[in-house]
Chains A and B, each alone.
Chain A
Amino acid sequence: MASTTAPLPVSSNGVSSPAASGAAVPGDAPRDGNAVRVRGFTRRFGDVTVLRDLDLDIAPGEFVALLGRSGSGKTTLLRTLAGLDAAPADQVSAPAARAVVFQEPRLLPWKRVWRNVTLGLGRGRLKSGLGRVEAATALEEVGLGHRVDAWPATLSGGEAQRAALARALVREPRLLLLDEPFAALDALTRIRMHQLVLSLWRAHRPAVLLVTHDVDEAITLADRVLVLADGRLAVEEKVSLPRPRETGPEFQALRRRLLGHLGVEQAGPRDGAPLSFIPPAAGIRTAWNRAAAVNGHGVPYHGANGAQTNGAQVAGGLS
């Protein structure tokens, strides 16, 4: 769980070798100890320095959440680790077996769901026509076994994001990069997706980097929560609560600390206060709080009611 900080032999470009061989037994420890290793990485766009001399290690099988305000460079870091933005190999190394789930599902609308899942796997092991079977298995795993041949346009938002998860998992990644993948989903779907991601993570044991705005989501899912500010990792919080994580004093204290680091000042009750008095901070998603609202009404979150509840909480809590 803890990040290993053992000195590493600067494995030339650790990007290429380990996973390309396809061994990719999930959770298999890579030779160089860490799944991700970033040292002194700086990234500029014109005059703006987005990432400044950044260090980051992610252990194999570790679930890390990355918080930060809009424009703090979270996504830049994720894109770099995904190989979408070039970076010097001596500063950034990540496994070749990596997969991204973006905020939008980004399914190709002209390919059936299973073809989307096997996208780009055509050359290797799927040549022998195994593709559909593998895709169907992966889709089964995310609960989409019945939509194998569907067109993406017929999927709901949650289903599409599940398909995107299946597409990532079928690659047996050693590093799974999640770029706010649940931000566009409704509260209930988001909770289900959290459970799904956790169970998939347990089954496949990839290292996970989850970029999110949602403090509760970060605490609920991750082993370690990082806050990116001014181009550096300003804060690191280990989360040792047992899963599934319910709210409680520890959860709340952590939540308050992280929100503080994100610049959200909170008035109101101190540690140990019941949840309903903790306001959802403006601009920060609180899936967890909304879930509480749902349960409170005993009905699935329908519009005016839930919104009012939330509004009342904001009004009552923030000052």
Chain B
Amino acid sequence: MSLTIDDPQAQALAPAPRQAGASLARRVLARLGNSRWTVPLALLLAWEIGSRVGLVPPRVLAAPSAVLATFWTLLVSGELPSNLLVSLARVATGLGIGVAVGTGLAVVAGLFRRGETLVDPLMQMLRTLPFLALVPLFIVWFGIGEVPKVALIALGAAFPTYLTLFSGIRAIEAKLVEAGRSFGLSRLELITNVVLPGATPSFLVGLRYALGHAWLSLVVAEQINASAGLGYLINNARDFMRTDIIVVCLGVYAVLGLGTDFLVRLLERHLLAWRPTFLER
């Protein structure tokens, strides 16, 4: 492995080659040395070789090829899609509730002095609590069904939404609000025309954090006696030491995280089209 990585650099630094063939090899290696894919692919290759040779036993980590095969099996059997849907539904519900609550509280605290007095201190205090530490309490309160799972995800999503949107609303330029006022905007119009669009960039940052928290909460929540979902799949696999299934699920988590992040980025492109950063592209 280390050879693969070190070689191109060594080659690139070497003095001019004597023949055309050496020059081509040098160019290929230089290309590899510059590619961001070189290291991950090399690792993957090393992993596969290690598994084949017997250096990495399957009960420690299944070979990439075995993982791929398992992925296909799980996909075709419908086991993966059905459990994935369960997990997605949990995240969607929790995220929906969390973002809605966070947004509502942020708007109240951001727009009204009284609202800030009532809401903000509590939120600032609660946010210092690692929300995942609430799992035992949630189990006591809500049992081990769907409720504690969704509640944990909602809680994880609500805080970043609240914090970023609140500071976004407060960061609106007073001058713009004043200009709006001088052109006869009513209070409601000020909110819809000036305050909320101005706070949208912050909100979208918050939404990304909320998504991150939601996936994290999902993983933790599904450790609580799940009978379906990706977490259930992982727990089951653990009992049978099926590292291949575990790795497949980890991969699915990663893809889900990337996918939702991509969705938020699409949303940003649409909602923040007016920003100079997007205009220059």
B-contacting residues of A (Cβ < 8 Å)?
82-84, 99-100, 102, 104, 106, 108-112, 119-122, 151-154, 167, 171
Chain A residues in 8 Å Cβ range of B276: 153
Q: Which of A112, A151, A167 has the most CB of B within 10 A?
A: A151
Contact A110 B179 (CB under 8 A): no
Contact B182 A153 (CB under 8 A): no
Q: Are A106 and B279 in contact (CB under 8 A)?
A: no
Known: A120-B185, A120-B189, A151-B279. A106 touches B179 (CB 8 A): yes
B275 in contact with A109 (CB, 8 Å) = yes
Could you pull out 29 A-B pairs where Cβ atoms are within 8 angstroms? Answer: A82-B182, A84-B181, A84-B182, A99-B182, A99-B183, A102-B175, A102-B179, A106-B178, A108-B176, A108-B179, A108-B193, A108-B194, A108-B197, A109-B275, A110-B197, A111-B193, A111-B197, A111-B274, A112-B274, A119-B183, A119-B193, A120-B183, A120-B189, A121-B184, A151-B274, A152-B274, A153-B279, A154-B279, A171-B183
- With beta carbons under 8 angstroms apart, the residue of B183, B273, B279 that contacts A167 is B183
Q: Does B180 contact A (CB under 8 A)?
A: yes
Report which B residues bind A (CB closer than 8 A). Answer: 175-176, 178-185, 189, 193-194, 197-198, 200, 273-276, 279
Whole-angstrom distance between the Cβ of B166 and the nearest chain A Cβ: 19
| Contact in complex: A119, B275 (CB < 8 Å) | no
Distance of B97 from chain A, by nearest CB (Å): 28
The secondary-structure label for the interface of chain A is: loop
* Measured CA separation A82–B181 after assembly (Å): 10
CB distance from B193 to the nearest CB of A (A): 7
Shortest Cβ distance from residue B57 to the other chain A in the assembled complex, whole angstroms? 57
Are B275 and A153 closer than 8 Å at their CB atoms? yes
Closest to B197 in A: A110
> Which residues of A lie under 8 Å from residue B279 when comparing CB positions?
151, 153-154
Q: Is the CB of B180 within 8 A of A120?
A: yes
The 6 residue pairs across chains A and B that have the minimum distance between CB atoms: A106-B179, A120-B183, A110-B197, A120-B184, A153-B276, A151-B274
Q: Which residues of B contact A102 (CB under 8 A)?
A: 175, 179
Q: How far is the CB of B192 from chain A (nearest CB, A)?
A: 11
What B residues does A151 contact at CB under 8 A?
Answer: 273-274, 279
Q: Which of A102, A104, A108 has the most CB of B within 10 A?
A: A108
Chain A residues within an 8 Å CB radius of B198: 108, 110
Which A residues are CB-close (under 8 A) to B183? 99, 119-120, 167, 171
Residue from A112, A153, A167 whose CB has the most chain B CB atoms within 10 Å: A153
Residue of A whose beta carbon sits closest to that of B179: A106
Q: Hey, which chain A residues are within 8 Å of B274, CB to CB?
A: 109-112, 151-153
Which residues of B have CB within 8 Å of A110? 197-198, 200, 274
Report yes or no: B176 in contact with A106, Cβ–Cβ below 8 A: yes
CB distance from B253 to the nearest CB of A (A): 35
Minimal beta-carbon separation of B19 from chain A (angstroms): 54
